[in-house]
Amino acid sequence: MAKKRVGVLISGRGSNMAALIEAAKDKNYPAEIALVLSNRPDAGGLKTAQAEGIATGVVDHGKFGKDREAFELALQAELEKHKIEIVCLAGFMRLLTPWLVSRWPERMLNIHPALLPAFKGLDTHARALEAGVKTHGATVHFVTPELDAGPIVAQGAVAVQNGDTTDTLAARVIKIEHKLYPLALKLVAEGRVRVADGRCLIDGVPVPDAAQLVPTHLN
């Protein structure tokens, strides 16, 4: 089957983008990273993508002022020009309007650094620590017009340790993100994810019986 052409949208360092690029090097991976687009000309991830020989583009939101429609038209035009079939938001720090989101039904993914629906929005690690949760993590979901609320494709969990700071927790979560996003994209690119009643059903993947306990046991 032909590999799906993926466009990755970034705003910053692009470590999730890099994880997707790495995974897509496998000849059996069902997707290729065909384009990396940034809304910021100085996004570090652009250089990483260029070094990998991937087409990059910048649609600088600053140049469009308050005209979100024109910004999104420009994004969409780039995606179409490169014949993109699936869009991955990877640290893309612009809110998208329903117009753009509705161009990509079940074909636009986002990675969020929390176990949704907990901790939507920003500063997820600080809020998780503040709430005292024992398990935290990351979620890949389809993008819908409502922020961080689309159907969940996959989640990865980490234990919260005594003494964790936002930095130590973020470091543990980002490692999970780098495994989770390639996995979720693979499932979507293979057409194994169906959405029914706002939930993703995934065909043909083993789901472990054992849940993770935090803490695990008494000594």
Q: What is the length of the chain?
A: 219
CA dihedral angle for residue 118, residue 134, residue 169, residue 114, rounded to 10 degrees:
-20
Q: Toward ligand GRF, which CB reaches closer, 78 or 177?
A: 177
Provide, rounded to whole angstroms, the least separation between the CB of residue 60 and ligand GRF.
Answer: 17
Q: Toward ligand GRF, which CB reaches closer, 125 or 186?
A: 125
Provide, rounded to whole angstroms, the least separation between the CB of residue 82 and ligand GRF.
Answer: 20
Q: Is the alpha carbon torsion for 195, 196, 199, 202 positive or negative? A: negative
Provide, rounded to whole angstroms, the least separation between the CB of residue 173 and ligand GRF.
Answer: 7
| Contacting residues toward ligand GRF, per CB under 6 A | 10, 12-17, 90-91, 111-113, 138, 174, 177
Provide, rounded to whole angstroms, the least separation between the CB of residue 57 and ligand GRF.
Answer: 17
User: Which of 61, 82, 112, 178 is flagged as catalytic?
Assistant: 112
Distances (CA, A) of 170 to 30, 122, 125, 137, 151: 29, 13, 6, 9, 23
112 is catalytic: yes
Q: Quote the tokens at residue 2.
A: 């032909």
Q: Toward ligand GRF, which CB reaches closer, 112 or 186?
A: 112
The residue sitting closest to ligand GRF, measured at its beta carbon, is 91
Q: Toward ligand GRF, which CB reaches closer, 70 or 129?
A: 129
Give the catalytic positions in this structure. Answer: 112
